[in-house]
Amino acid sequence: MAEGTTWLDQVREKLDRPWPERDPILTEGSGAASVRDAAVLVPLYVRDKELFTLFTKRTEKVKKHKGQISFPGGGKEPSDENLWVTATRETEEEIGVPRDAVKILGALPPLVTVTDFRISPFVGAIPYPVEWKPDEVEVEKILEIPISYLVNPLATEEQEITWKGRPVRTKVYHYHGHAIWGATAHILSDLLEVLQGS
Protein backbone atom coordinates (compact mmCIF):
# COMPACT_ATOMS: atom_id res chain seq x y z
CA MET A 1 0.00 0.00 0.00
CA ALA A 2 1.44 3.37 -1.01
CA GLU A 3 2.19 5.84 1.76
CA GLY A 4 -0.95 7.72 2.72
CA THR A 5 -3.19 5.26 0.85
CA THR A 6 -6.07 3.79 2.85
CA TRP A 7 -8.21 0.73 2.23
CA LEU A 8 -10.95 3.17 1.21
CA ASP A 9 -8.72 4.53 -1.57
CA GLN A 10 -7.84 1.00 -2.68
CA VAL A 11 -11.48 -0.09 -2.94
CA ARG A 12 -12.45 3.11 -4.77
CA GLU A 13 -9.67 2.52 -7.29
CA LYS A 14 -10.72 -1.08 -7.86
CA LEU A 15 -14.37 -0.10 -8.35
CA ASP A 16 -13.40 2.54 -10.92
CA ARG A 17 -13.26 0.04 -13.76
CA PRO A 18 -15.21 -0.84 -16.89
CA TRP A 19 -17.53 -3.81 -16.71
CA PRO A 20 -17.98 -6.02 -19.75
CA GLU A 21 -21.29 -5.74 -21.56
CA ARG A 22 -23.69 -8.31 -20.21
CA ASP A 23 -27.37 -8.98 -19.89
CA PRO A 24 -28.56 -7.10 -16.77
CA ILE A 25 -31.29 -9.65 -16.16
CA LEU A 26 -30.30 -12.18 -13.50
CA THR A 27 -33.06 -14.59 -14.49
CA GLU A 28 -36.27 -14.23 -16.39
CA GLY A 29 -38.70 -11.95 -14.58
CA SER A 30 -42.41 -12.43 -14.27
CA GLY A 31 -43.11 -10.70 -17.55
CA ALA A 32 -44.50 -7.61 -15.86
CA ALA A 33 -44.72 -4.55 -18.07
CA SER A 34 -42.33 -2.61 -15.87
CA VAL A 35 -39.79 -3.11 -13.13
CA ARG A 36 -39.39 -1.06 -9.97
CA ASP A 37 -36.13 0.71 -9.21
CA ALA A 38 -34.39 -0.37 -6.01
CA ALA A 39 -30.96 0.04 -4.45
CA VAL A 40 -28.86 -1.81 -1.92
CA LEU A 41 -25.83 -0.84 0.10
CA VAL A 42 -22.91 -3.25 0.08
CA PRO A 43 -21.34 -2.15 3.37
CA LEU A 44 -17.62 -2.50 4.05
CA TYR A 45 -15.78 -1.84 7.29
CA VAL A 46 -12.65 -2.92 9.13
CA ARG A 47 -13.00 -4.95 12.31
CA ASP A 48 -10.06 -6.51 14.14
CA LYS A 49 -7.78 -5.44 11.25
CA GLU A 50 -9.89 -7.41 8.76
CA LEU A 51 -12.29 -6.26 6.03
CA PHE A 52 -15.93 -7.21 6.65
CA THR A 53 -19.25 -6.87 4.92
CA LEU A 54 -22.70 -7.50 6.37
CA PHE A 55 -26.04 -8.92 5.40
CA THR A 56 -29.47 -8.94 6.97
CA LYS A 57 -31.69 -11.95 7.42
CA ARG A 58 -35.22 -10.81 6.67
CA THR A 59 -38.07 -11.65 9.01
CA GLU A 60 -41.17 -13.63 8.14
CA LYS A 61 -43.19 -10.42 8.60
CA VAL A 62 -42.06 -8.72 5.40
CA LYS A 63 -44.10 -8.91 2.20
CA LYS A 64 -41.28 -10.02 -0.10
CA HIS A 65 -38.19 -12.23 0.31
CA LYS A 66 -39.24 -13.64 3.69
CA GLY A 67 -36.35 -15.19 5.60
CA GLN A 68 -33.81 -14.47 2.87
CA ILE A 69 -30.31 -13.09 3.33
CA SER A 70 -29.80 -9.74 1.64
CA PHE A 71 -27.83 -6.52 1.67
CA PRO A 72 -29.65 -3.58 3.29
CA GLY A 73 -31.81 -1.79 0.76
CA GLY A 74 -35.21 -1.52 -0.86
CA GLY A 75 -37.42 0.20 -3.38
CA LYS A 76 -36.90 3.80 -4.48
CA GLU A 77 -39.43 6.20 -2.98
CA PRO A 78 -40.69 9.31 -4.82
CA SER A 79 -38.97 11.47 -2.21
CA ASP A 80 -35.54 9.89 -2.87
CA GLU A 81 -33.36 12.27 -4.87
CA ASN A 82 -31.42 9.37 -6.38
CA LEU A 83 -30.66 5.69 -5.83
CA TRP A 84 -27.71 6.36 -3.51
CA VAL A 85 -30.21 8.14 -1.25
CA THR A 86 -32.45 5.06 -1.48
CA ALA A 87 -29.63 2.73 -0.45
CA THR A 88 -28.49 4.81 2.54
CA ARG A 89 -32.02 5.65 3.68
CA GLU A 90 -33.01 1.99 3.67
CA THR A 91 -29.80 1.06 5.49
CA GLU A 92 -30.55 3.56 8.24
CA GLU A 93 -34.13 2.32 8.52
CA GLU A 94 -33.18 -1.37 8.55
CA ILE A 95 -30.07 -1.50 10.73
CA GLY A 96 -29.63 1.97 12.23
CA VAL A 97 -26.45 3.14 10.45
CA PRO A 98 -26.85 6.93 10.00
CA ARG A 99 -27.09 7.69 6.29
CA ASP A 100 -24.75 10.67 6.61
CA ALA A 101 -22.05 8.41 8.07
CA VAL A 102 -21.81 6.21 4.96
CA LYS A 103 -19.02 7.06 2.49
CA ILE A 104 -19.64 6.06 -1.11
CA LEU A 105 -16.82 4.02 -2.64
CA GLY A 106 -18.40 3.15 -5.97
CA ALA A 107 -21.04 1.03 -7.63
CA LEU A 108 -21.48 -2.47 -9.02
CA PRO A 109 -23.44 -3.37 -12.16
CA PRO A 110 -27.25 -3.19 -11.82
CA LEU A 111 -29.40 -6.25 -12.32
CA VAL A 112 -33.07 -7.12 -12.72
CA THR A 113 -34.47 -9.82 -10.46
CA VAL A 114 -37.14 -12.49 -10.80
CA THR A 115 -39.32 -10.30 -8.58
CA ASP A 116 -39.13 -7.44 -11.12
CA PHE A 117 -36.81 -5.08 -9.25
CA ARG A 118 -33.98 -3.28 -11.04
CA ILE A 119 -31.36 -3.23 -8.30
CA SER A 120 -28.52 -0.72 -8.25
CA PRO A 121 -25.81 -1.89 -5.80
CA PHE A 122 -23.62 0.76 -4.16
CA VAL A 123 -20.48 -0.04 -2.19
CA GLY A 124 -20.06 2.14 0.86
CA ALA A 125 -17.80 2.37 3.90
CA ILE A 126 -19.67 2.41 7.20
CA PRO A 127 -18.25 3.45 10.58
CA TYR A 128 -17.08 0.80 13.01
CA PRO A 129 -17.78 0.25 15.79
CA VAL A 130 -21.42 1.22 15.35
CA GLU A 131 -24.52 0.36 17.33
CA TRP A 132 -26.73 -1.86 15.18
CA LYS A 133 -30.42 -1.06 15.55
CA PRO A 134 -32.22 -3.71 13.49
CA ASP A 135 -35.81 -2.93 12.58
CA GLU A 136 -37.85 -5.64 14.30
CA VAL A 137 -40.36 -5.89 11.46
CA GLU A 138 -37.79 -6.24 8.66
CA VAL A 139 -34.60 -7.66 10.16
CA GLU A 140 -34.38 -10.89 12.11
CA LYS A 141 -30.58 -10.96 12.30
CA ILE A 142 -27.46 -9.12 11.14
CA LEU A 143 -24.67 -11.29 9.71
CA GLU A 144 -21.16 -9.81 9.84
CA ILE A 145 -18.90 -11.84 7.56
CA PRO A 146 -15.18 -11.36 6.83
CA ILE A 147 -14.32 -11.00 3.15
CA SER A 148 -11.56 -13.57 3.67
CA TYR A 149 -14.24 -16.16 4.48
CA LEU A 150 -16.31 -15.36 1.40
CA VAL A 151 -13.40 -15.64 -1.06
CA ASN A 152 -12.67 -19.19 0.09
CA PRO A 153 -13.82 -21.51 -2.74
CA LEU A 154 -15.19 -23.94 -0.13
CA ALA A 155 -17.77 -21.31 0.90
CA THR A 156 -19.56 -21.28 -2.45
CA GLU A 157 -21.19 -23.60 -4.97
CA GLU A 158 -23.49 -23.52 -7.99
CA GLN A 159 -27.01 -24.77 -7.29
CA GLU A 160 -30.34 -25.03 -9.02
CA ILE A 161 -33.07 -23.67 -6.74
CA THR A 162 -36.81 -23.88 -7.26
CA TRP A 163 -38.30 -20.40 -7.07
CA LYS A 164 -42.08 -20.10 -7.41
CA GLY A 165 -42.25 -23.45 -9.17
CA ARG A 166 -39.46 -22.91 -11.66
CA PRO A 167 -35.74 -23.74 -11.60
CA VAL A 168 -33.25 -20.92 -11.04
CA ARG A 169 -29.49 -21.43 -11.41
CA THR A 170 -27.56 -19.45 -8.82
CA LYS A 171 -24.35 -19.23 -6.88
CA VAL A 172 -24.84 -20.04 -3.23
CA TYR A 173 -22.53 -18.81 -0.48
CA HIS A 174 -22.72 -20.74 2.77
CA TYR A 175 -22.04 -19.20 6.17
CA HIS A 176 -22.71 -21.09 9.41
CA GLY A 177 -25.99 -22.59 8.26
CA HIS A 178 -27.09 -19.54 6.24
CA ALA A 179 -27.39 -19.58 2.44
CA ILE A 180 -26.80 -16.43 0.39
CA TRP A 181 -28.22 -16.88 -3.11
CA GLY A 182 -30.03 -15.17 -5.97
CA ALA A 183 -29.52 -11.45 -6.57
CA THR A 184 -27.56 -11.03 -3.34
CA ALA A 185 -25.10 -13.78 -4.34
CA HIS A 186 -24.77 -12.21 -7.79
CA ILE A 187 -23.90 -8.81 -6.26
CA LEU A 188 -21.54 -10.43 -3.78
CA SER A 189 -19.77 -12.27 -6.61
CA ASP A 190 -19.20 -8.95 -8.41
CA LEU A 191 -17.85 -7.40 -5.20
CA LEU A 192 -15.41 -10.26 -4.61
CA GLU A 193 -14.25 -10.07 -8.23
CA VAL A 194 -13.43 -6.39 -7.69
CA LEU A 195 -11.67 -6.90 -4.36
CA GLN A 196 -9.57 -9.73 -5.74
CA GLY A 197 -8.57 -7.57 -8.70
CA SER A 198 -10.02 -9.83 -11.39
pTM of the model: 0.90
pLDDT digits (tens, 9 = 90+) for 45-60: 999 999 999 999 988 7
Distance CA(179)–CA(155), nearest Å, equals: 10
Instruction: Report pLDDT for 26.
Output: 52
Asked if residue 165 is part of any domain, the answer here is: no
Asked if residue 25 is part of any domain, the answer here is: yes
Do the Cβ atoms of 7 and 46 come closer than 8 Å?
A: yes
The secondary structure of 39-82 as a DSSP string is: EEEEEEEEETTEEEEEEEEE-SSSSSSTT-EE-SEEEPPTT-SS
Distance CA(66)–CA(139), nearest Å, equals: 10
Asked if residue 65 is part of any domain, the answer here is: yes
Do the Cβ atoms of 58 and 65 come closer than 8 Å?
A: yes
- Domain membership of residue 115 as a residue range: 7-151+187-195
Burial 160-169 (b: 16+ CB within 10 A, else e): eeeeeeeebe
Asked if residue 179 is part of any domain, the answer here is: no
Instruction: Report pLDDT for 67.
Output: 72
Asked if residue 182 is part of any domain, the answer here is: no
- Helix (H) or strand (E) holding 144, with range, is strand 139-146
| pLDDT averaged per 10 residues, the chain (length 198) | 78 90 56 80 97 92 76 96 98 97 96 86 96 94 97 92 74 94 93 88
Instruction: Report pLDDT for 87.
Output: 98
Distance CA(24)–CA(26), nearest Å, equals: 6
Instruction: Report pLDDT for 31.
Output: 53
Instruction: Report pLDDT for 20.
Output: 78
Asked if residue 122 is part of any domain, the answer here is: yes
The one-letter amino acid code at 119 reads I
We report the CATH number of the domain holding residue 117 as: 3.90.79.10
If one counts the domains in the chain, the total is: 1
The secondary structure of 6-36 as a DSSP string is: -HHHHHHHHHSS-------BSS-----S--E
Please tell me the number of Cα atoms within 13 Å of 113 on its side-chain side: 24
Asked if residue 191 is part of any domain, the answer here is: yes
Asked if residue 2 is part of any domain, the answer here is: no
Instruction: Report pLDDT for 101.
Output: 97
Calculate the dihedral angle through the C-alpha atoms of 26, 27, 30, 33, rounding to the nearest 10 degrees.
Answer: 50
